[in-house]
A and B are shown apart, each in its own frame.
Chain A
Amino acid sequence: MSHLSAATRHRVAFTLNGRPVSLEAEPRLLASDALRHGLGATGTHVGCEHGVCGACTIQIDGVPARACLTLAVQLEGRKVRTVEGLGPAADRLSVLQASFRRHHALQCGFCTAGILVSLDAFLHEQPHPSEEELRIVVGGHLCRCTGYTPIIRATLEAAEQLRSDPSLPDSSHV
Chain B
Amino acid sequence: MVAGLKVAVENWPMAVERVRYVGEPVAIVVAQDRYLAEDALDAIEIDYAPLACVVDPIASLASDAPVLHENAGANLVSDRRFRYGDPEAAFGAAAHSVEVSIAYPRNTGAPMETFGVVAEYEPHEDAYEILANFQGPFSIHAVMARCLKVSGNRLRLRMPPESGGSFGVKQGVAPYAVMIGVAARVAGAPVKWIEDRLEHLSAAVAATNRVTTLKAAVTKEGRITALDWDQVEDCGAYPRAPEPATLYRMHGNMTGAYDIRNLAIRNRVVLTNKAPTGLVRGFGGPQVYYALERLMQRIAVELELDPLAVIRANLIQGGAFPYRTASGAFYDSGDYAKAVDVAVADGRLASLERRRDEARAAGRRYGIGFAAAVEPSVSNMGYITTVLTAEERKKAGPKNGAQATATVSLDPVGSVSVHVASVPQGQGHRTVLAQVVADVFGLSPAAIKVVADLDTGKDAWSIASGNYSSRFAAAVAGTAHLAATRLRDKLAAIAASQLDVSPGQIGFAGGAIFATGNRAKTLPFGRVAALSHWSPALLPDGVDQTIRETAFWAPPQLAAPTESDEVNSSLCHGFIFDMAGVEVDVETGKVRIDRYVTMHDCGRVLHPAMVDGQIRGGFAQALGASFYEELAYADDGAFLTGTFADYLLPTSTETPDIEILHIETPSPFTPLGAKGVGEGNCMSTPVCLANAVADALGVAELNLPLTPARIAALIASPEPALPAANRDRPASLGTVKPGDRTLRGEGMAMVAATPEAIWSMLLDADQLASIIPGCHGVKKLSETHFKTDVTLGVGPVKGRYKAEIKLSDLDPPKAATLSGSVSGALGTGGGSGRVKLAPGEGGVTVISYTYEAAVGGKVAAIGGRLLDGAAKAIIGQFFAALARKAAPESKRTGFFARLFGRQT
Residues of A in contact with B (beta carbons under 8 Å apart): 26, 28-29, 33, 37, 45, 47-50, 52-53, 55, 104, 106-111, 134-136, 138-152
Contacts A/B (CB < 8 Å), 30 sampled:
A26-B35, A28-B35, A29-B35, A37-B33, A47-B114, A49-B197, A52-B643, A53-B112, A53-B197, A104-B609, A107-B426, A108-B163, A108-B425, A109-B164, A110-B111, A110-B164, A135-B652, A138-B652, A139-B653, A141-B651, A141-B652, A142-B112, A144-B112, A144-B649, A145-B613, A145-B617, A146-B616, A147-B617, A149-B657, A150-B613
Seed contacts A45-B112, A147-B620; 5 additional CB < 8 Å A-B pairs: A108-B165, A111-B112, A146-B613, A149-B616, A149-B658
Nearest-neighbour CB distance to chain B for A23, whole angstroms, equals 13
B426/A145 in contact, CB under 8 A: yes
B644 nearest in chain A by CB position: A52
B845-862 CB mask vs A (1 if < 8 Å, else 0) is 000000000000000001
B197 nearest in chain A by CB position: A48
A39 CA / B109 CA spacing, docked (Å): 31
Nearest-neighbour CB distance to chain B for A111, whole angstroms, equals 5
B97-111 CB mask vs A (1 if < 8 Å, else 0) is 000000000000111
A48/B644 in contact, CB under 8 A: yes
Give every chain B residue within 8 A of A106 (Cβ-Cβ).
426
Asked if B345 lies at the interface with its beta carbon under 8 angstroms from chain A, I say no
Give every chain B residue within 8 A of A135 (Cβ-Cβ).
652-653
Which residue of A26, A49, A110, A148 contacts B113 across the interface (Cβ within 8 Å)?
Answer: A110
B197/A50 in contact, CB under 8 A: yes
B652/A47 in contact, CB under 8 A: no
B111-134 CB mask vs A (1 if < 8 Å, else 0) is 111100000000000000000000
Give every chain A residue within 8 A of B791 (Cβ-Cβ).
none
Decide if the interface of chain B is mainly helix, strand, loop or mixed: loop
B644/A107 in contact, CB under 8 A: no
A110 CA / B196 CA spacing, docked (Å): 15
**Known A45-B164, A52-B643, A142-B644; contact A108-B652, beta-carbon cutoff 8 A:** no
Q: Which of B416-443 contact A (CB under 8 A)?
A: 425-428
Give every chain B residue within 8 A of A143 (Cβ-Cβ).
112, 620, 652
B156-169 CB mask vs A (1 if < 8 Å, else 0) is 00000011110100
**Known A138-B652, A147-B620; contact A104-B112, beta-carbon cutoff 8 A:** no
Which residue of A109, A144, A146, A150 contacts B162 across the interface (Cβ within 8 Å)?
Answer: A109
User: What are the 3 A-B residue pairs with the smallest beta carbon separation, nearest first?
Assistant: A108-B426, A110-B164, A147-B616
**Known A49-B197, A53-B644, A144-B621; contact A107-B427, beta-carbon cutoff 8 A:** yes
Give every chain A residue within 8 A of B167 (Cβ-Cβ).
144
A55 CA / B111 CA spacing, docked (Å): 12
Give every chain B residue within 8 A of A50 (Cβ-Cβ).
197, 643-645, 796, 862
B627-655 CB mask vs A (1 if < 8 Å, else 0) is 00000000000000001110001011101
**Most A C-beta atoms less than 10 A away, residue of B425, B619, B862:** B425
A139/B165 in contact, CB under 8 A: no
A107/B617 in contact, CB under 8 A: yes
Asked if B748 lies at the interface with its beta carbon under 8 angstroms from chain A, I say no
Nearest-neighbour CB distance to chain B for A133, whole angstroms, equals 11
B63-77 CB mask vs A (1 if < 8 Å, else 0) is 000000000000000
A9 CA / B621 CA spacing, docked (Å): 43
A123 CA / B796 CA spacing, docked (Å): 32
A8 CA / B761 CA spacing, docked (Å): 40
Give every chain B residue within 8 A of A110 (Cβ-Cβ).
111-113, 164-165
B13-51 CB mask vs A (1 if < 8 Å, else 0) is 000000000000000000001110000000000000000
Give every chain A residue within 8 A of B164 (Cβ-Cβ).
45, 47, 108-110
A-B contact count (CB 8 A): 117
B488-517 CB mask vs A (1 if < 8 Å, else 0) is 000000000000000000000000000000
A79 CA / B619 CA spacing, docked (Å): 39
Give every chain A residue within 8 A of B645 (Cβ-Cβ).
50, 52
B712-747 CB mask vs A (1 if < 8 Å, else 0) is 000000000000000000000000000000000000
Nearest-neighbour CB distance to chain A for B210, whole angstroms, equals 23
Give every chain A residue within 8 A of B762 (Cβ-Cβ).
none
Asked if B610 lies at the interface with its beta carbon under 8 angstroms from chain A, I say yes
Give every chain A residue within 8 A of B796 (Cβ-Cβ).
50
Give every chain A residue within 8 A of B620 (Cβ-Cβ).
143-144, 146-148
Nearest-neighbour CB distance to chain A for B254, whole angstroms, equals 29
A48 CA / B621 CA spacing, docked (Å): 18
A136 CA / B654 CA spacing, docked (Å): 10
A107/B643 in contact, CB under 8 A: no
A29 CA / B33 CA spacing, docked (Å): 11
A108 CA / B617 CA spacing, docked (Å): 11
A136 CA / B653 CA spacing, docked (Å): 6
Give every chain B residue within 8 A of A33 (Cβ-Cβ).
34
**Known A49-B196, A109-B426; contact A152-B644, beta-carbon cutoff 8 A:** no
A148 CA / B658 CA spacing, docked (Å): 11
A108/B113 in contact, CB under 8 A: yes
A99 CA / B35 CA spacing, docked (Å): 39
Q: Which of B646-701 contact A (CB under 8 A)?
A: 649, 651-653, 655, 657-658
Nearest-neighbour CB distance to chain B for A154, whole angstroms, equals 12
A159 CA / B821 CA spacing, docked (Å): 58
A144/B616 in contact, CB under 8 A: no
Nearest-neighbour CB distance to chain B for A116, whole angstroms, equals 14
Nearest-neighbour CB distance to chain B for A152, whole angstroms, equals 7
Give every chain A residue within 8 A of B162 (Cβ-Cβ).
108-109
A106 CA / B649 CA spacing, docked (Å): 17
B655 nearest in chain A by CB position: A148
A99 CA / B707 CA spacing, docked (Å): 35
Q: Which of B125-180 contact A (CB under 8 A)?
A: 162-165, 167
**Known A52-B643, A142-B649; contact A47-B197, beta-carbon cutoff 8 A:** yes
Nearest-neighbour CB distance to chain A for B162, whole angstroms, equals 7
A81 CA / B643 CA spacing, docked (Å): 27
A134 nearest in chain B by CB position: B652
Q: Which of B267-318 contact A (CB under 8 A)?
A: none
**Known A145-B165, A148-B652; contact A108-B112, beta-carbon cutoff 8 A:** yes
**Most B C-beta atoms less than 10 A away, residue of A48, A55, A142:** A48
A55/B644 in contact, CB under 8 A: no
Give every chain A residue within 8 A of B113 (Cβ-Cβ).
45, 47, 108, 110
B169-210 CB mask vs A (1 if < 8 Å, else 0) is 000000000000000000000000000110000000000000
Give every chain B residue within 8 A of A53 (Cβ-Cβ).
112, 197, 644
Give every chain A residue within 8 A of B616 (Cβ-Cβ).
146-147, 149-150
Give every chain A residue within 8 A of B111 (Cβ-Cβ).
108, 110, 144
**Most A C-beta atoms less than 10 A away, residue of B425, B427, B653, B862:** B653
**Known A49-B196, A104-B610, A107-B427; contact A152-B652, beta-carbon cutoff 8 A:** yes
Nearest-neighbour CB distance to chain A for B617, whole angstroms, equals 5
Which residue of A107, A109, A145, A151 contacts B652 across the interface (Cβ within 8 Å)?
Answer: A151
**Known A50-B197, A147-B619, A150-B616; contact A139-B109, beta-carbon cutoff 8 A:** no
A151 CA / B616 CA spacing, docked (Å): 12
A106 CA / B165 CA spacing, docked (Å): 11
Nearest-neighbour CB distance to chain B for A150, whole angstroms, equals 7
A23 CA / B500 CA spacing, docked (Å): 68
Give every chain A residue within 8 A of B428 (Cβ-Cβ).
104, 107
A53 CA / B164 CA spacing, docked (Å): 13
B165/A48 in contact, CB under 8 A: no
**Most A C-beta atoms less than 10 A away, residue of B617, B645, B658:** B617
A140 CA / B653 CA spacing, docked (Å): 9
**Most A C-beta atoms less than 10 A away, residue of B112, B167, B196:** B112
B681 nearest in chain A by CB position: A147
A136 CA / B643 CA spacing, docked (Å): 21
Nearest-neighbour CB distance to chain B for A119, whole angstroms, equals 11
Nearest-neighbour CB distance to chain B for A147, whole angstroms, equals 3
A135 CA / B650 CA spacing, docked (Å): 12
A131 nearest in chain B by CB position: B657
B653 nearest in chain A by CB position: A139
